[in-house]
Amino acid sequence: MLELHSLGLEEAMQAIAAGEAAAARLGLPMAFAVADVSAELIAATRMDGGHPRLLRHSIRKAYTSATMCRNTLWFRRDLEDRLGNLEQWGDPELTTLPGGLVVRSDRGFVGAVGASGGGDKDEEVAHIMVRAMGFEPLIDPRGPAGPES
């Protein structure tokens, strides 16, 4: 029998609260999303003052990381390495914007988070979200993706 482990509402709310606190410290009205192991949305929120599109971006980032089982920047790098593009995947919800992180426990992949609205701080805030759930963010074994990341 298959045993499935996934993030739940409690973890999602911990991640979002940590993201909101980090964004408040940075003075940025951001949006946050958490997806389960099946890439389905558990929870998402947009801070007051944040543009409505930020919520959609955070959801797409969490969805992409959960669907592809990799951080959005890793996915971008994979596409670049293969001379590919998002259209080839046939899924308009996929994105390569920074701020989507896969979440892995000692039992395997359990979901993903997305943070949007902080520009170059999206990745940093997403890392804080993952740590707030008691996990360590995964680091691309290939090293940093470069200055455009």
Considering the entire predicted model, what is its pTM? 0.92
pLDDT interval class at 83 (50, 70, 90): confident
Q: Domains of the chain by range and CATH?
A: 9-132 (3.30.450.150)
Average pLDDT in the 83-95 region?
91
Query: 83 — phi, psi (to 5°)?
Result: 55, 40
Provide the token pair at 78.
């994979």
The SS3 call for residue 2 is coil
pLDDT interval class at 147 (50, 70, 90): very low
